[in-house]
Structure 1
Amino acid sequence: MTPVNTPHAHSPGGAPARISVIGEALMDIIHADGADGGSPRVSEHVGGSPLNVAIGCARLGLATRLVTHFGEDAHGRSIAEHLAANGVEAVNGGVGPTSTATATLGADRAATYTFSLTWEIADAALAALASTEDSAHVHTGSIATMLPPGDQTVHSLVQAAQRNETISYDPNCRPSIVGDNTIARRQAEVFVQSSDIVKASDEDLLWLYPNRTLDETLAAWLDAGPALIAVTRGALGPIALTRTARVEMPARAVTVADTVGAGDSFMAALIAGLAQLDLLGASKRDQLRRLDHESLAALIEYATNAAALTCSRPGADLPGLGDLGPMTGTPA
């Protein structure tokens, strides 16, 4: 991912929106067979869904912190440098080694994965709590909300943040890590109930609820408390709904390099769009619940365009304000 420096996106009130993201940062290590039988190639990339969301939010002009875990090792230094280059402030609760996800690509390009994961941010709990107190919004999801012991710390931070901040959540399920969908479903529902905005993929929802349709799950999750639910469906495009509006639109046609980071880009743009609408923060919950169809459509189009741009680039190279500009109908 190439660092992108962009000006702050201001809410209609004039101040840069500040958000906190809580979740994993890790190193993706990719082993690929060499061309024509040559030596295997190894490449390393900074990754992790919450980290990607934090990078995407910062590139879209939000003042962003990432509460995470990485070690004092070479991989951890790469993560710290990448966050700093993209203007993301790191609150690091890590004491163990940096987590890694290793993918081995065969000649047919199929991948097999092995993980070395640690998720524990207790050493950053007080700093994380303080960091959310001057934020308008907190986002979390993925491994951070599923993997003990850190998942309980994350939930406690989210509960504390509800007093002043809006909350967003993306389960971003990893069946290869949490293989029991009963456990994952229970964890996901805990965070859905604590959130104002929830984004998931159709693959997430069909794995969590194999005996329900997408519409049934969306309705159940909306009834659980959130103001806004969005589901991405790849080439079919997203669906979003509130209690008063529903939007369904096709995906934007692009030449796809790969889909790495597309869902994280959608989530980051969703948060940035809500900031531009001045709908982040606990005091805006009632307005968020009354989001009209026109504003919801503009918001989802903005997030869809962000995901499409990410798909057109190799790797999780999320767009910035220079790529997307402000959301249609909002101040520059």
Structure 2
Amino acid sequence: MSRELDGPDLLVIGESVADIVRLPGAADQVHPGGSPANVAYGLSRLGHGVTLRTQLGADANGRLIREHLESAGVAVRTDAPAAPTPSAAVTLDAAGRATYTFEITWTLGPAAEERPPRHVHTGSIAAVMAPGSATVLDAVGALRSAATVSYDPNVRPELMGDHAEAVRRVERCVALSDVVKASDEDLEWLYPGDSPRTVAGRWLGRGPAMVLVTRGGDGALAVIPDGQVTVAALPTEVVDTVGAGDAFMSGTLHALARRGLLGADGRARLYTLDRDTVADVLRHAVAAAAVTVSRAGANPPDRRELTEALART
């Protein structure tokens, strides 16, 4: 795939998951998934050079996911297979909302980077499930001096373990990050009863330049040192919500990369963004999510599709 951008090399560290989609009266359908893998795929479709550090088994699902990622230009790096490829049974309700049942182990081992990336993204299961989560946090900590960092907790309650410990793990990741994105549902599980705006403000105080909150059909908000920015969702017919948050994340990083705001040399400006710039970043993010929810599975936009969606905003 040709690259539109000469911008930062992006490293995503996290799980790849075979999503087994189950619809009433229909045969199971297997789709490549996993939140970090979806972000890597979305970034590559938007023209970025992306490496995904992940775990895949020597099985049909592993081959399916690798071929899917490489078809978009993602460079896939894995350990020697030690377990089956993680999977999740995805059940969709009448509105296309997804619930998940997981079969996953996460044992990612340490590995040196041949060339330090300019940006690192992680999150979801990879950042909280032992023993692989320790590898992820060590890698992010080691790379942070040369790379900006983004994080999406993408909470899966059934895999989070003890609630108090899960909150502590998430907050450690927030403190390592420059850009944090979470859904209102994530925040409700982590901090029951607290408003998303309140939580985002607390997280901002832990170190990030911006905290983004997705609110489904109500759009998204960003909390930055200069205050709060909100944008509306882009009207679209929802087929399902699988991968919507991941497309939002890849759209965010795409917009930041285009403005030269990723990497150690972009970090200082990232922390002093004005509201108009943040609003433009959010518009890219919600447009990417709108394209994804308009079709089945985690199928984010390419550059042309994102441009067309942005024209509708």
Q: TM-score under structure 1 normalisation? A: 0.88
Q: Is the 8 A contact 2:54 2:78 kept in 1?
A: yes
1:98 aligns with 2:85: yes
Tell me which residue corresponds to 1:43. 29
Q: Within 5 Å, give how 1:46-195 maps onto structure 2.
A: 46-93=32-79, 94-103=81-90, 113-122=100-109, 125-126=110-111, 129-131=112-114, 133-195=115-177
Q: CA RMSD in A?
A: 2.2
For 1:60 and 1:143, the matched residues in 2 are separated by 24
1:8 aligns with 2:3: yes
User: Shift of residue 215 of structure 1?
Assistant: 1.8
SS at match of 2:151: strand
User: Shift of residue 114 of structure 1?
Assistant: 3.5
Deviations 1:124-170 (A, max 9, x none): x22xx315x43110000000011100001000000011010000000
Amino acid at match of 2:148: T
In structure 2, relative to structure 1, the CA distance for the partners of 1:103 and 1:234 (3 Å cut) is closer
User: Shift of residue 74 of structure 1?
Assistant: 1.2
In structure 2, relative to structure 1, the CA distance for the partners of 1:316 and 1:109 (3 Å cut) is closer
Deviations 1:80-108 (A, max 9, x none): 11111111000102421111112467999
For 1:106 and 1:222, the matched residues in 2 are separated by 34
In structure 2, relative to structure 1, the CA distance for the partners of 1:33 and 1:235 (3 Å cut) is closer
Q: Which runs of 5+ in 1 are unaligned?
A: 35-39
Q: Is the 8 A contact 2:197 2:223 kept in 1?
A: no
User: Shift of residue 17 of structure 1?
Assistant: 2.5
Amino acid at match of 1:87: G
For 1:109 and 1:218, the matched residues in 2 are separated by 27
SS at match of 1:246: strand
User: Shift of residue 41 of structure 1?
Assistant: 1.2
In structure 2, relative to structure 1, the CA distance for the partners of 1:46 and 1:327 (3 Å cut) is closer
Percent identity of equivalent pairs = 43
Count of matched residue positions in the alignment of Structure 1 and Structure 2: 309
SS at match of 2:265: helix
Tell me which residue corresponds to 1:283. 265
Q: Within 5 Å, give how 1:298-317 maps onto structure 2.
A: 298-317=280-299
In structure 2, relative to structure 1, the CA distance for the partners of 1:310 and 1:111 (3 Å cut) is closer
Tell me which residue corresponds to 2:240. 258
For 1:314 and 1:22, the matched residues in 2 are separated by 25
In structure 2, relative to structure 1, the CA distance for the partners of 1:326 and 1:284 (3 Å cut) is farther
Runs of 4+ in 1 over 6 A off after TM superposition: 105-112
Q: Is the 8 A contact 1:276 1:327 kept in 2?
A: no
For 1:172 and 1:262, the matched residues in 2 are separated by 11
For 2:103 and 2:198, the matched residues in 1 are separated by 35
User: Shift of residue 314 of structure 1?
Assistant: 1.5
User: Shift of residue 285 of structure 1?
Assistant: 1.3
Q: Is the 8 A contact 1:137 1:165 kept in 2?
A: yes
For 1:180 and 1:190, the matched residues in 2 are separated by 15
Amino acid at match of 1:66: L
Tell me which residue corresponds to 1:320. 302
The range that moved more, 109-118 or 296-305, is: 109-118
* Residue among 168, 175, 179 paired with 1:197: 179
In structure 2, relative to structure 1, the CA distance for the partners of 1:223 and 1:29 (3 Å cut) is same
User: Shift of residue 181 of structure 1?
Assistant: 2.5
1:29 aligns with 2:27: no
In structure 2, relative to structure 1, the CA distance for the partners of 1:269 and 1:107 (3 Å cut) is closer
For 2:72 and 2:78, the matched residues in 1 are separated by 16
Amino acid at match of 1:301: R
Deviations 1:187-229 (A, max 9, x none): 1101000000000000001110014222221111000000011
Tell me which residue corresponds to 1:37. none
User: Shift of residue 326 of structure 1?
Assistant: 9.9
Q: Is the 8 A contact 1:298 1:327 kept in 2?
A: no
